[in-house]
Structure 1
Amino acid sequence: MERDVRRRHASSFGTAAGVYAEHRPDYATAAVHWALESAPGSRVLDLGAGTGKLTGTLVTLGADVIAVEPDSAMVSELRRALPGVRALAGSAEEIPLPDGSVDAVLAGNALHWFDMAVAGGEIARVLAPGGILAGLWNVMDDRVDWVAGLERVGGSAAIGPRDTLSSWRGATAGLHLPGGDVVARFGSAEQAEFPHGQRRTADSLVETLGTRAGVLVMPEREQLATLGRVRAFLASRPETASGNFTLPLLTGVLRTHRL
């Protein structure tokens, strides 16, 4: 993705901050445990924290969390939901924290938006030796037939290359970790997936897909047509046509250590 296009996509979420806060899923607790299991301490930076979906899980696990997020509308939702968390305006490329001040940097559905040529050095700077860098993604389990059908109907804007189990490993492996001179300060990357799920209705799943960056930047007519196809598909499937159902998810984790 070209830099200007990526920047436009990355900055689109604030326009739907309230819907994002209500409908985006949290993260599998086991995945967060695995991401942090060898961190040297409990100080965690949630980088690109959005509305606090990952932040809330970290708080539940007893981490000493600082959230950093560039979008003011997203930060407002995070502060409303988690008033006890220190939430700062900032970005992965300009982290407003001192050197060596955290034991882990986690990013929930955000690492792919970072300019790692710049952010890699910043992350290395704020991490203590032995600290963890981990990206987490909630991915739909497209081994399930109706989910695979939803992917075809929604198209790449609604369900992108990091949004399904069959594609997220290839889309994330080694592509979003520090490069250049900074790479020597990190160990090799590890990947793992952890079962997850979220109770949904057809309406709430449509709302969720409407918060994808590819949909948010669409012209209104195209956006309505895309979400209309998704709604019609969900109405046609016995698994999703009426009432509540479980959206089969996994939380995928890409983890490395600062040497």
Structure 2
Amino acid sequence: MEQDVRFLHASSFGAAAGAYAEHRPDYAPAAVRWALNSAPGPRVLDLGAGTGKLTGVLVALGADVIAIEPDPAMLTELRRALPTVRALPGSAEAIPLPDGSVDAVLAGNALHWFDMAVAGPGIARVLAPGGILAGLWNVMDDRVDWVAGLERVSGSAAIGPRDTFSRWRAATAGLHLPETDVAARFGSPEQAEFPHGQRRTADSLVATLATRAGMLVMPEQQREATLGRIRAYLASRPETTSGEFALPMLTGVLRVRQR
């Protein structure tokens, strides 16, 4: 049942691929540099690449990037935005690359969707010796008062769990499933977080939250009611009522090295 729910959420983004490409943030360059810092070379697989939000940062940092994405609509947006990047259909559970062909595998807001019992050995297969696997997650910084208030009125479907880092910290467990040999293939995880932000208006922030998986699978009437509460809250806050503002964010990183 849990796996069915995960698949439903993970497969929901294609219907909103254009909005995802327009409204989702990129990743803090410092976070991406840290994720790659221990990689033995420049060849990077962006796995579950979506519309290329992480891919674009990797390209700007000079990495030799291959992007893999299972959803055709998301892949179309990625190819439109980054036509020079090699972008292939595929998934974390079926990676269409040769053994030892990349020095790092990165996943932006995607690692928690992977079935690591299947994906873990496949990721280990395509990594070169000593290669890096890293997950990156953009989250709103709910240490800021108005962001914490937004979380309260929005609910978990739009913002995520109350501890906004629980997903990426809990992802450590996904790398050590006892029924697989993934734990033996990778060393101990390292974690870091980096300040990030995104210029938004009230309307564009509502549009961003509407691309969250929990919102996309919500019944229409419930979704509209939730978005209505968010609009009303943003209209009530001085930080978000006067045109463009900076949305406080953090990019969290979980990194492990293949033994």
The alignment's TM-score, normalised by the length of structure 2, stands at: 0.97
Matched with 2:110 is: 110
The verdict on how the C-alpha distance between 1:178 and 1:70 changes in structure 2, with shifts beyond 3 A counting, is farther
Q: Is 1:177 the counterpart of 2:175 in the alignment?
A: yes
Secondary structure of 2:253's counterpart equals strand
Q: Is 1:52 the counterpart of 2:57 in the alignment?
A: no
Deviation for aligned residue 1:155: 0.2
Deviation for aligned residue 1:177: 1.7
Deviation for aligned residue 1:162: 8.6
Matched with 1:30 is: 30
Deviation for aligned residue 1:175: 2.4
2: CA distance between counterparts of 1:46 and 1:100? 15
Deviation for aligned residue 1:169: 5.3
**Deviations, residues 169-197 of structure 1 (Å, cap 9, x unaligned):** 5433x223253212101000011000111
Matched with 1:123 is: 123
2: CA distance between counterparts of 1:62 and 1:161? 34
Q: Is the 8 A contact 2:27 2:138 kept in 1?
A: yes
The verdict on how the C-alpha distance between 1:113 and 1:48 changes in structure 2, with shifts beyond 3 A counting, is same
Identity %: 80
**Deviations, residues 31-75 of structure 1 (Å, cap 9, x unaligned):** 000000010000000000000000000000000000000000000
Secondary structure of 1:175's counterpart equals helix
The number of residues matched between the two structures is: 257
2: CA distance between counterparts of 1:80 and 1:33? 25
**Deviations, residues 130-171 of structure 1 (Å, cap 9, x unaligned):** 000000000111110000000001101111139835x45543
1: CA distance between counterparts of 2:105 and 2:12? 23
Q: Is the 8 A contact 1:137 1:162 kept in 2?
A: no
Q: Is the 8 A contact 2:156 2:162 kept in 1?
A: no
Q: Is the 8 A contact 2:195 2:250 kept in 1?
A: yes
Give the root-mean-square deviation of aligned CA atoms.
1.3
The verdict on how the C-alpha distance between 1:162 and 1:186 changes in structure 2, with shifts beyond 3 A counting, is farther
1:202 alignment partner AA: A
Matched with 1:20 is: 20
1: CA distance between counterparts of 2:62 and 2:161? 32
User: 1:139-158 to 2 correspondence within 5 Å?
Assistant: 139-158=139-158
2: CA distance between counterparts of 1:201 and 1:66? 33
1:212 alignment partner AA: R
1:215 alignment partner AA: M
Deviation for aligned residue 1:229: 0.5
The alignment's TM-score, normalised by the length of structure 1, stands at: 0.97
Point out 4+ residue stretches in structure 1 off by more than 6 angstroms.
Answer: none
Q: Is the 8 A contact 1:14 1:74 kept in 2?
A: yes
2: CA distance between counterparts of 1:162 and 1:96? 37
Q: Is the 8 A contact 2:112 2:167 kept in 1?
A: no
**Deviations, residues 75-95 of structure 1 (Å, cap 9, x unaligned):** 000000000000000000000
2: CA distance between counterparts of 1:97 and 1:178? 23
Which runs of 5 or more structure 1 residues have no equivalent in the other structure?
none
Q: Is the 8 A contact 1:51 1:78 kept in 2?
A: yes
2: CA distance between counterparts of 1:182 and 1:238? 48
